Structures are given as C-alpha cells and as structure tokens.
Amino acid sequence: MIKFDSSHALLNEKISDYQQDVSKVHKMIHEKTGKGNDFLGWVDWILNYDKNEFEKIKEVANKVSDKAEVLLVCGIGGSYLGARAGIEMIQGLYAKNKTEVIFVGNSFSSTYLSQVIEYIKDKSVVLNVISKSGTTTETALAFRILKKFMEEKYGKEECKIRIIATTDKSRGTLKALADKEGYATFVIPDDIGGRYSVITPVGLLPMAIMGIDIDEIFKGLKAAYTDLNEESLEKNAAYQYAVSRRILQNQGKDAEMLVTYEPQMTLVGEWWKQLFGESEGKEEKGILPTSATFSTDLHSLGQFIQEGKKVLFETLLLVEKPAEDLIFPYDENNDDGMNYLSGKSIDWVNKMAMQGTLDAHEITGKVGNLIITMEDTSAYTFGYMCYFFFISCAMTCYLLDINPFNQPGVEVYKKNMFKLLGKN
Ligand code: PA5
C-alpha cells in the first residue's frame, strides 16, 4: 500500500546496518517496555478498539449529519489536526458535500472566531468539542462562546443532540460539563496521546459526520498493522523510513521537508509536523519537521532548497492515482503557446514536474530525497498512512533514545501565559 524508496536520498550508510537496533526497538514497541510505554495503545488499537463505541460513532454521525449544514470541530493539536487532515485528504478541498466543516478552538484569534460566528449564524450547526484533558485554554475559550451561541440559537434541549463532546472517559471539566448538560460523549482512551488519536473518536466522529466511511479507514489501519508488524528492515517500509531519517541526521541534515504535490495533502503535512515535532523535538535532539506543497512552494521555498544552506532533506509523499484528472485541451490559435501539452493529462504534467524537481534537487542541488508513495487518497489509504507514520515515528524516536509520547516543552508557554492571564 505504501512504497518507500531511499535510492534518491544520498545516504552514506546502509539502512540494513541498523537491523540490530531496530530489532531491539521493535520489541520495545510491541512488548511495551520503552519510555512512555503507557501511551502505546495505538499499536494494537485495531484489535482492541471498543466495537460498541465504533458503532455508536456511526449512529450519532448518521443522526446529526442531516442537521449539519455546518459541522464545527472545536479542538487544537492532536484534537484537531488528524480530523482535518483526513477530511481534506479523502474528500478534497472543494468536495460536493451537504455539510461544511469549520475548525475552531485552535487559536486565540478574535477576528477568526467573530467571523465564524457571523458566517454560521443563519446556518444549521452541529458542534463537536474535542479535548482529552478537557482544560486546553484555546478549546475551552472558544467552546464557552460557541456553547452560548448554540443555546441562544437552539435552546438547551436541542443542544443535547447538536453538541457532542469527545474527551477523557471520566476525568476533566469537559466530561463533567457534558454529563451535566446531557451531551453525547465519546472517549479518548487513556493510553493514546493526542497526536496519535486520529484513529479514535477524535478523528473518526468528525470524519463520519462528513460522510467518510470509517470502516474503510479501519480496513487500511488493519492492513498496515499486519504489514508493518515485521521486525525485518528489509520488509518493513516504515522502519526503513525511520532509519533513513537517523542516517540523514547523522549526515548533518537537521531539517526534513515533507513535500506533497496535491493541495488536499497540505493538512496531512501539518498533522505530520505535529506528530514528528512533538514526539521527537526534545533534549536538544530531533529533526525539525517542515512541510511544503509543490509546485506551489517551488515558487517560494524552491530557491532555498536548490541553492541555500544544505541543512535539509526532503521526504516526498506522493499519490499514485489522483482522485480526479483532466485532459489539457487543444486550442487552434495557440496564443498562449501551450499546445505542446494538448491531449496530455494534468496529472501527467504534475508527475513530470515532480520528476524534474527531484532531479534538480537531488542531482544538481545535492539535496537527498526519501520517497513515500501512496496508491491514492482514499479512506483506506488514510488509515494505512496513519499507522505507517505512527510506527515510523515511534521507531525513529526510540532510535534516538527519546520518549515519543510526552511533550514537556509545550508547558512552558502555557505557564507564562497563565501568569499573564491571571489564572491561579
Ligand atoms: O499531542 C498532544 O497530546 C497535544 O498536541 C494535544 O493533542 C493538544 O495539546 C490538545 O490537548 P487536549 O486534547 O487535551 O485539549
């Protein structure tokens, strides 16, 4: 389902030389003995997930999707990025949907929130508030305002159907509040951290409300679980990727740019940045994850990649079959001089741009490229891709002796902010 190619990466070590280290970490992951081992619930989630809750997700999604002209998803970080990445990847950016999704609670912008409220005021709205801790300030601030908006618009009784909370099973203010107000609640498992939670109700409920087939996501997840359970580096594409990152960092490449050629994959890049950045960037170690969408960003970042400081490598996340394609038309006058493309498919043009860029960056620019190729942008592939990146992230972090599952550094800004906001 996902192919990995390191032949353009300019690696100066052999991936297979890491087999011994990889075997050790493989055991740590599967026997749950490494750092942060109480957050490894995602590893066997496809076997252990709550089947009743999965069915309840589909039921609730069915029940509210008719009502939802607009679905508001209120959350930040892992309680936001996965759902957005999934919806955009699977449905595209301008899908013909009866429901429009709007993400809120992921900043403190007063303009953004005011404009969203103005935009939705005459529309039929469903609100899914998502927070594992139940106390995240960006989410709680937006939720208080939106809850008030919903109650004024619909009354408290109707809000019991239109507001759904996804949070911890028993702890936290959001759980208490949801129980008090009678909202349906979905559980974020204790042993799955935010950035690994797209495969739980955190990601599944918004995707199901948007009409995505979550059974397909789980089929892809299951296939990945089987394929990527292999200890052997030769057989495990995710481990090859994890090791290649370590080799490239040993070669002085401290930044990685995840590059896609499909605008609908841009949010996957944002999700991936959180997954790798928050998991790996600690103890003054780790690779800086950045992302770009080509060819758009070739007209901005392309110059730096080609001729700037040699600090980075690229990871191409390619889609073999686009969801749609077009044929470039012939024009009798050819005033724009574009007839040389007549009859060619636009996806073929995109792929030629990719090939030309790969050669330019690798051969002329001496910038290594790892290549991850996905078959398509389906729900199945999304499920597969999530597991691919989860397990490669755990492997690459453990190879660096990092706990992939905490984020102690994120607390520093919060402490300062709370002091300035006068929170006790
Ligand atoms: O990966 C993580 O754990 C974080 O990014 C969280 O998802 C984010 O901080 C939001 O937390 P919460 O779901 O508790 O509101």
> pLDDT 10s digit of each residue in the chain, 424 long?
899 999 999 999 999 999 999 999 999 999 999 999 999 999 999 999 999 999 999 999 999 988 899 999 999 999 999 999 999 999 999 998 889 999 999 999 999 999 999 999 999 999 999 999 888 999 999 999 999 999 999 999 999 999 999 999 888 899 999 999 999 999 999 999 999 999 999 999 999 999 999 999 999 999 999 999 999 999 999 999 999 999 999 999 999 999 999 999 999 999 999 999 999 999 999 999 999 999 999 999 999 999 999 999 999 999 999 999 999 999 999 999 999 999 999 999 999 999 999 999 999 999 999 999 999 999 999 999 999 999 999 999 999 999 999 999 988 999 999 999 999 7
Residue with CA nearest ligand 1 atom 5: 77
6 Cα: distance to centroid of ligand 1 (angstroms): 33
**Checking DSSP bridges between strand 125-131 and strand 100-104, what pairing results, if any?**
unpaired
DSSP 281-331: --TT-SPEEEEEETTGGGGTTHHHHHHS-S-EEEEEEEESS-S---BPPP-
Which helix (DSSP H) or strand (DSSP E) does residue 103 occupy?
Answer: strand 100-104
Q: Which of 126, 185, 210 is nearest to 379 (CA)?
A: 210
- Measured in residues, the chain has a length of 424
Residue with CA nearest ligand 1 atom 3: 194
For residue 269, how far is the Cα from the chain centroid? 7
| Burial per residue of 345-376, b for 16 or more beta-carbon CB atoms within 10 angstroms, e otherwise | eebeebbeebeebbeebbeebebbbbbbebeb
187 Cα: distance to centroid of ligand 1 (angstroms): 14
Query: Which residues, including other chains, have CB under 8 Å from residue 124's CB and lie 6 or more apart?
Result: 67, 68, 69, 70
For residue 157, give both structure tokens: 């009784």
Mutation to probe ligand 1, out of 39, 74, 76 (largest number of atoms < 8 A from CB) = 76
262 is catalytic: no
**Cα separation, 19 vs 231, whole angstroms:** 8
Catalytic option among 299, 309, 332, 419: 299
30 is catalytic: no
For residue 252, how far is the Cα from the chain centroid? 27
- 3-state SS class at 257: strand
**Checking DSSP bridges between strand 369-374 and strand 2-8, what pairing results, if any?**
antiparallel
Given this model, what pLDDT does residue 171 score? 84
Ligand 1 contacts (CB < 6 A) are 76-79, 131-133, 136, 139, 193-195, 278, 407
**Cα separation, 279 vs 282, whole angstroms:** 8
419 Cα: distance to centroid of ligand 1 (angstroms): 20
